[in-house]
Amino acid sequence: MTACLFTTRRCLMRWLGVALACLLLPVSLSGSYAQAQTKPPEAPPPGARSASAPPPLMLQHPSLSASLIAFDYGGQIWTVPRAGGQATLLVAGQGQNSGPVFSPDGSLVAYTGTYDGNTDVYVVPATGGQPQRLTWHPGRDVAVGWTPDGKNVLFRTPRTTPRDLEQLYTIPVTGGTATQLPLPSGFQASYSPDGGRLAYVPFSQWQPAWKHYRGGQTSRVWIAALSDSSVVKIPRDNSNDRNPLWVGDTVYFLSDREGPVALYAYDVKTAKVTSVVRNERGFDIQSAAAGPGGIVYDQFGTLNLYDTTTRQAHAVPVTISGELPQTRAHLETLDPGQILHAALSPTGKRVLFETHGEILSVPAEKGDVRNLTQSPGVADRDPAWSPDGKTVAWFSDQGGEYALHLRSADGLGPVKVIGLGQPPSYFYGPLWSPDSKKIVYTDKRLNLWVVDVDHPTPVKVDTDRYDSPASQLNPAWSPDSRWIAYAKQLPNHLHGIYVYSLADKKTQMVTDGRSNAASPRFDRGGKYLYFVAFTNNGLDQGWLDMSSMGRATDGRVYVMVLRRDLPSPLAPESDEEAAGDGKKAGQDDGDKKGDDKKGDGKKVAEVRIDFAGLDQRTLALPIPRVNLAGIEVGTEGIVFAAAQPVALTDEDYLDGDENGPPSLEVARFDLKTRKTDKFVDGVDAGSFFVSADGRKVLYAQHGRWFVNGADKAPDAGAGALKLDEMQVWVDPRAEWRQMYHEAWRIERDFLYDPKAQGLDLAKAEQVYAPFLEALAGRVDLNTLFAEMTGHIGLGHTFVGGGAFPKQDKVSVGLLGADYRVVAGRYQFARILEGENWTPGARAPLTQPGVNVAVGDLLLAVNGNEVKTDQEVYRYFLGTAGKQTVLTVGPKADGSGSRQVTVVPLPSETKLRLHTWMEENRRKVDQLSGGRLAYVYLPDTAAGGFANFNRYYYSQVGKQGAIVDERFNHGGQIADFIVEQMKKTPQMIDATREGEEMVEPAQAIYGPKVMIINQMSGSGGDALPWLFRKAKLGTLVGVRTWGGLVGIGGYPPLMDGGSITAPRWALYGTHGEWEVENIGIPPDVEVEQDPALVRQGHDPQLEKAVAVALDQLAKNPPQTFTRPAYPDRKPVLPETGR
Q: What tens digit of pLDDT does each residue of 432-476 get?
A: 999 999 999 999 999 999 999 999 999 999 999 999 988 889 999
The architecture CATH gives domain 465-570+595-685: 7 Propeller (2.130)
pLDDT number for residue 472: 85
Q: What is the spatial distance between Cα 176 and Cα 433, in angstroms, rounded to a whole number? A: 68
Q: What is the mean pLDDT of residues 291-300?
A: 97
pLDDT number for residue 504: 95
Strand pairing category for 727-730 and 330-333: antiparallel
Whether 32 shows a pLDDT value over 60: the answer reads: no
Q: pLDDT category, 293, cuts 50, 70, 90?
A: very high
pLDDT number for residue 653: 42
Q: Is 504 left (phi over 0), alpha (psi -120 to 50) or beta?
A: alpha
Q: What is the spatial distance between Cα 966 and Cα 164, in angstroms, rounded to a whole number? A: 10
3-state secondary structure 810-829: CCECECCEEEEEECCEEEEE
pLDDT number for residue 1024: 99
Q: What is the spatial distance between Cα 836 and Cα 850, in angstroms, rounded to a whole number? A: 13
Nearest to residue 510, comparing CAs of 491, 526, 529? 529
Which one from 354, 742, 965, 1076 is the annotated catalytic residue?
1076
- The model's pLDDT over 135-193, given as tens digits with 9 standing for 90+, comes to 999 999 999 999 999 999 999 999 999 988 999 999 999 999 999 999 999 999 999 99
Whether 50 shows a pLDDT value over 70: the answer reads: no
φ/ψ of residue 254, rounded to 5: -100, 145
Q: pLDDT category, 40, cuts 50, 70, 90?
A: low
Q: What is the mean pLDDT of residues 764-791?
A: 96
Whether 34 shows a pLDDT value over 70: the answer reads: no
Identify the CATH number of the domain defined by range 94-300: 2.120.10.60
Is 796 tagged catalytic?
A: yes
Q: What is the mean pLDDT of residues 117-131?
A: 96
| DSSP letter assigned to residue 126 | T
Percent of the chain's residues with pLDDT above 90: 85
- The model's pLDDT over 960-979, given as tens digits with 9 standing for 90+, comes to 999 999 999 999 999 999 99
For the ranges 207-221, 608-622, 796-810, the lowest mean pLDDT is seen at 796-810
Is 1018 tagged catalytic?
A: yes
pLDDT number for residue 52: 59
Q: What is the mean pLDDT of residues 500-514?
A: 97
pLDDT number for residue 28: 29
Greatest distance between any 2 Cα atoms in the chain:
125
Q: Kindly report each contact of residues 498-503 with a partner whose C-beta sits within 8 Å and lies 24 or more positions away, as own/partner.
A: 498/462, 499/529, 499/609, 500/450, 500/461, 500/462, 502/438, 502/450
| DSSP letter assigned to residue 955 | G
Cis, peptide link before residue 260, omega less than 30° from 0: no
Q: What is the spatial distance between Cα 109 and Cα 63, in angstroms, rounded to a whole number? A: 9
Give me the half-sphere count of Cα atoms (radius 13 Å) on the Cβ side of residue 599. Answer: 15
Q: What is the mean pLDDT of residues 755-762?
A: 97
Residue spans of the domains in the chain: they are: 94-300, 465-570+595-685, 817-905, 910-1044+1079-1114
- What letter represents residue 806's amino acid? K
pLDDT number for residue 658: 46
Nearest to residue 349, comparing CAs of 691, 635, 598, 2? 691
Helix residue ranges per DSSP H, 562-628: none
Nearest to residue 476, comparing CAs of 314, 692, 642? 692
Cis, peptide link before residue 1000, omega less than 30° from 0: yes
Per-position DSSP letters for 335-365, written without gaps between them: PGGGEEEEEE-TTSSEEEEEETTEEEEEESS
For the ranges 350-364, 588-602, 939-953, the lowest mean pLDDT is seen at 588-602
Q: What is the spatial distance between Cα 1046 and Cα 1017, in angstroms, rounded to a whole number? A: 11
Whether 589 shows a pLDDT value over 70: the answer reads: no
Q: pLDDT category, 39, cuts 50, 70, 90?
A: low
Bridge partners of 472, per DSSP, are none
For the ranges 377-381, 546-550, 1046-1050, the lowest mean pLDDT is seen at 546-550
Q: pLDDT category, 27, cuts 50, 70, 90?
A: very low
Nearest to residue 19, comparing CAs of 410, 431, 332? 332
Cβ atoms of residues 596 and 604 within 8 Å: yes
Percent of the chain's residues with pLDDT above 70: 92
Q: What is the mean pLDDT of residues 405-414?
A: 96
Cβ atoms of residues 382 and 406 within 8 Å: no
Q: What is the spatial distance between Cα 899 and Cα 884, in angstroms, rounded to a whole number? A: 10
Q: What is the spatial distance between Cα 90 and Cα 74, in angstroms, rounded to a whole number? A: 13
Q: What is the spatial distance between Cα 189 and Cα 220, in angstroms, rounded to a whole number? A: 11
Q: What is the spatial distance between Cα 636 and Cα 1020, in angstroms, rounded to a whole number? A: 50
Which one from 341, 796, 914, 969 is the annotated catalytic residue?
796
Torsion of CA 766, 770, 771, 777, to 10 degrees: 110
Q: What is the mean pLDDT of residues 104-108?
A: 98
Cβ atoms of residues 710 and 703 within 8 Å: no
Q: What is the mean pLDDT of residues 27-45?
A: 40
Whether 87 shows a pLDDT value over 90: the answer reads: yes
Whether 599 shows a pLDDT value over 80: the answer reads: no
Residue 1020's SS3 state is: helix
**Among 94-98, 646-650, 742-746, which range has the highest average pLDDT?**
742-746
Whether 578 shows a pLDDT value over 80: the answer reads: no
pLDDT number for residue 22: 28
pLDDT number for residue 656: 42
For residue 1069, with 0-12 CB atoms within 10 Å meaning exposed, 13-18 middle and 19 or more buried, which class applies? exposed
Rg (CA), the chain: 33
For the ranges 92-101, 123-132, 815-824, the lowest mean pLDDT is seen at 92-101
Q: What is the mean pLDDT of residues 280-300?
A: 95
Neighbours of 980 (CB within 10 A): 18
Q: What is the mean pLDDT of residues 1044-1071?
A: 96
pLDDT number for residue 583: 52
**Which residues, 6+ apart, have CB-to-CB distance to 158 below 8 Å?**
139, 140, 164, 165, 166, 167
Identify the CATH number of the domain defined by range 910-1044+1079-1114: 3.90.226.10
Residue 708's SS3 state is: strand
Q: What is the mean pLDDT of residues 932-946?
A: 96
pLDDT number for residue 966: 98
Whether 323 shows a pLDDT value over 60: the answer reads: yes
pLDDT number for residue 545: 92
Q: pLDDT category, 15, cuts 50, 70, 90?
A: very low
Nearest to residue 1018, comparing CAs of 1055, 1065, 985? 1065
Question: 128-149 in b/e burial notation, b at 16+ Cβ within 10 A?
Answer: eeebebbbbbbbbbbbbbbbbe
φ/ψ of residue 829, rounded to 5: -90, -25
Identify the CATH number of the domain defined by range 817-905: 2.30.42.10
Q: What is the spatial distance between Cα 448 and Cα 446, in angstroms, rounded to a whole number? A: 7
Q: What is the mean pLDDT of residues 253-278?
A: 97
pLDDT number for residue 541: 81
